Structure 1
């Protein structure tokens, strides 16, 4: 194909380049459409008077202008049509040029939309990954809080179970002396490993579920601040959620501490024995009274703590502390970043735990008795409650309340303190 390429000096403007081509008539429209399809190209096509007089000469001259800005690609230009030798042919060629460029622009817009969607998907994946990581940190904060608190108060937990499970009649000091002389100091931590296996996931799910439910209820209500009703509802649902997920380990631990539990072996041995002799759902003994007790227990525990916390933060002293924390956030250590401070976090946790324990303790007694029952003598929750009252009166429903409160007071305070501290250390959002 005889054609002449002629490059002209750069046009005025940033990175503008001009060029021209003499094309044969048969190829003019095709080449024009191809070049016009390039983003940033301005194309004009026509014929000169001199070329029309000579047969075989290229009938058309194609002018081309391209501009580039900042390395970001061609800047779109406009398409113009020079005076052609044949009006009809020139019009058709112009339409071909414009149609080609429009098609490319539509493709570019479609590709741009795809790129935008891809970017949104990437951002969505990043947010999902961050949310999953934050949830993991949240759960670990609750698990660590449970492990630390349960290990420290394991002796008091053992005393409480002796009163509930074995029906101990001796006073507290006599019972402590009996355990120390027969089993040594390690006897006070009997079953603590199983207790940790039970309470670590329980507390992890409980704390995380409460924060999740509370935030969701606050979002739905649209209030400026979470109300007390929303706190109680979130706490109740958090207790129910954690109980349904973790009650099998609680049942196994209770059976291990009960008379004859030592002969069944460890966690696996007890679980195997219960499933083989009583069926899989025997691991869920006492679920109904557990749910009935954990709903108000969670509501009172989290509700009381948050009410006390917000009352302090809205006080002049609390506002002053929050202001100072914001100013010293980069320099303050984890303990100084606690909103309530160390003492108030421990105190408010203890108060909340005691209120929750006292309000729901009879359900705890009934639940433990249900977990001890074998298949031959199994009774429902109501019948078990009547039997306890018939044998020991109403005070029997509060058997072991004092050691239980002594156990809950440090347990609740330490667990809330460690939980709040771990959220700061692990940077839970």
Structure 2
């Protein structure tokens, strides 16, 4: 990811690359920052998941009715079902993702430099490739977390089983399906999240540069230095655009993946059967169940995450590298 606008050298904005970061501080502070963002946005994931798995009989009109139902039956705790499992595994998953992202991005920029693409195109290619490869590696950690947390999110809802915590879910899945059960939907997760991550990071890198150009940086006014608030605003806008684009493109695959992961052993269906059932119940729009919460989640997460991440990189930059 890129914290510098076009013509970075001329406006004294320098890229904080992997070699300029204090790694220990980066991981420790980063774990705290991203835990905070996850706490704030986790309820949206619960609501989205419930909307995606609802049967025709239990389907609720909108996200607000799902939230009201959860609060009525379980209180605020209901909005955080499965959170303990997610937060426990998210830290190693994030470390894998961020390490791969930063190292791959630098290598990708160097590889495409001889082709003399425009800056937005370079950013889209390098960031997109880094996001794709990072997602591919981190899915080994995130898919089992998804399987366990999503079963907890929907327990007791629309006929789904109840569990006594994440360990109980893992034990029962292993008993019925073996290790393969914890990786149910792994192929679809790769197909969903790898392109989604590529689209997200490519959109962020390129949109940021387009915004800088629209603001007049890197054109005829190369001596102007953007204020810190301008930089934050551009980064936040880039994060929002990236989340919006990625959510619209990948929601159908996410809906199918979620349904496959939460179904019990006795209800096992193929991806094709899930698609047919969704279309029968709700037409083609059934594939976009939970789009509203997912759009909000990915856009809000994108904005929050990118601001936290850019701040983290500035905070963890080595003195000699800034």
Give the TM-score band, short-chain normalised. 0.7 to 0.9
- After TM superposition, give the deviation of residue 368 of structure 1 in Å: 0.7
Q: Number of matched residues? A: 289
Supply the distance in 1 between the matched residues of 2:185 and 2:216 (Cα, whole angstroms): 45
Q: Which residue is equivalent to 2:75?
A: 184
> Do 1:210 and 1:235's aligned partners in 2 also have CA atoms closer than 8 Å?
yes
Supply the distance in 1 between the matched residues of 2:182 and 2:243 (Cα, whole angstroms): 26
- Residues 354 and 207 (structure 1), Cα distance of their counterparts in 2 relative to 1, 3 Å cut: farther
Supply the distance in 2 between the matched residues of 1:398 and 1:203 (Cα, whole angstroms): 27
Supply the distance in 2 between the matched residues of 1:136 and 1:246 (Cα, whole angstroms): 22
- Residues 409 and 381 (structure 1), Cα distance of their counterparts in 2 relative to 1, 3 Å cut: same
Supply the distance in 2 between the matched residues of 1:323 and 1:132 (Cα, whole angstroms): 25
1:228 to 114, 124, 138: 124
RCO comparison, higher one (Cα < 8 Å, 6+): 2
> Do 2:203 and 2:242's aligned partners in 1 also have CA atoms closer than 8 Å?
yes
> Do 2:85 and 2:166's aligned partners in 1 also have CA atoms closer than 8 Å?
yes
Q: Which residue is equivalent to 1:148?
A: 36
Q: Which residue is equivalent to 2:246?
A: 356
2:141 to 245, 252, 258: 245
Q: Are 1:170 and 2:69 matched, yes or no?
A: no
> Do 1:239 and 1:294's aligned partners in 2 also have CA atoms closer than 8 Å?
yes
In the TM superposition, what are the counterparts of 1:233-382 in structure 2 within 5 Å? Answer: 233-260=129-156, 263-314=162-213, 317-319=216-218, 324=225, 341-382=231-272
What is the DSSP-based 3-state SS (H/G/I as helix, E as strand, rest coil) of the residue aligned with 1:285? coil
RMSD: 2.9
Greater share of residues in helix: 2
Supply the distance in 1 between the matched residues of 2:179 and 2:96 (Cα, whole angstroms): 23
- After TM superposition, give the deviation of residue 321 of structure 1 in Å: 8.9
Q: Which residue is equivalent to 2:15?
A: none
Q: Which residue is equivalent to 1:42?
A: none
Supply the distance in 1 between the matched residues of 2:37 and 2:224 (Cα, whole angstroms): 31
Q: Which residue is equivalent to 2:11?
A: none
Supply the distance in 2 between the matched residues of 1:180 and 1:245 (Cα, whole angstroms): 30
Q: Are 1:158 and 2:46 matched, yes or no?
A: yes
Q: Which residue is equivalent to 2:12?
A: none
- After TM superposition, give the deviation of residue 361 of structure 1 in Å: 0.5
Of 394-403 and 225-234, the range deviating more from structure 2: 225-234
In the TM superposition, what are the counterparts of 1:96-135 in structure 2 within 5 Å? Answer: 134-135=22-23
- Residues 149 and 362 (structure 1), Cα distance of their counterparts in 2 relative to 1, 3 Å cut: same
> Do 1:301 and 1:356's aligned partners in 2 also have CA atoms closer than 8 Å?
yes
- Residues 145 and 358 (structure 1), Cα distance of their counterparts in 2 relative to 1, 3 Å cut: farther
- After TM superposition, give the deviation of residue 264 of structure 1 in Å: 2.4
Of 342-351 and 216-225, the range deviating more from structure 2: 216-225
Greater share of residues in strand: 1
What is the DSSP-based 3-state SS (H/G/I as helix, E as strand, rest coil) of the residue aligned with 1:153? helix
Supply the distance in 2 between the matched residues of 1:275 and 1:212 (Cα, whole angstroms): 35
- Residues 149 and 321 (structure 1), Cα distance of their counterparts in 2 relative to 1, 3 Å cut: farther
What is the DSSP-based 3-state SS (H/G/I as helix, E as strand, rest coil) of the residue aligned with 2:234? helix
- After TM superposition, give the deviation of residue 378 of structure 1 in Å: 2.3
TM-score where L is the length of structure 2 = 0.78
Of 314-323 and 245-254, the range deviating more from structure 2: 314-323
- Residues 392 and 198 (structure 1), Cα distance of their counterparts in 2 relative to 1, 3 Å cut: farther
- For 1:6-54, what per-residue CA distance to the aligned partner results, in whole angstroms no more than 9, with x for missing partners? xxxxxxxxxxxxxxxxxxxxxxxxxxxxxxxxxxxxxxxxxxxxxxxxx
Name the larger-Rg structure: 1
- After TM superposition, give the deviation of residue 315 of structure 1 in Å: 5.5
Q: Which residue is equivalent to 1:385?
A: 275
Of 235-244 and 383-392, the range deviating more from structure 2: 383-392
Q: Which residue is equivalent to 1:218?
A: 109
Supply the distance in 2 between the matched residues of 1:386 and 1:214 (Cα, whole angstroms): 39
> Do 1:198 and 1:250's aligned partners in 2 also have CA atoms closer than 8 Å?
no
TM-score where L is the length of structure 1 = 0.60
- After TM superposition, give the deviation of residue 279 of structure 1 in Å: 0.4
- For 1:129-158, what per-residue CA distance to the aligned partner results, in whole angstroms no more than 9, with x for missing partners? x96974444445654443222211222222
